[in-house]
Structure 1
C-alpha cells in the first residue's frame, strides 16, 4: 500500500543512512590492518551485516510502499521478520 513518508520517516531514514556510512568508514579503516582482520575477522563481518541491515531498514522507512520495500530486501532473515508486519 502506498503512503507518503512523513518528515519524521525521512529524517529517521537519513539518520540510519548516516549511521551506516559511519560503520562502513570504521569497517574500512579496521579492514586495512591485516592484524585486525586476522584477530577480529568475524566481528568485522558483523559490522558489515549491521550496515546492510541499517540500509535496508532505512529504505523501508522512507518507502511509499513499505511492503514492496520489504520484498526487495535480500537478507532472508530480516525480510522474514519485517514481512510479518508489512
Structure 2
C-alpha cells in the first residue's frame, strides 16, 4: 500500500495538526515540536491554515509520507551496506 493512503486512512484528512503526529513520527512532545517548527527545524514543512498565532500548526500528509518513505529507504540502504560489509 501507499504510505500516503495509509496515513489518510489513519488520520482521515490531508492535513493534520502537528500535535497529533509529533510524538509518533518525530519523538517530540507537542511544545518542543511547535518550537522547532517555528525555527524551521523539522524535517517537513508546517503551516497555519489561518493568519492567527492561535491557529494550530498543521502538516500535510503527503509531506509526512515522503519523510517516512525517505527514512525507510535510508534504513534499507544501511542494512544492505551492513550485509555487504559482513560477507
Judging by fraction of residues, say which structure has more strand: 2
Higher relative contact order (CA 8 A, sep 6+): 1
Judging by fraction of residues, say which structure has more helix: 1
TM-score (norm 2): 0.31
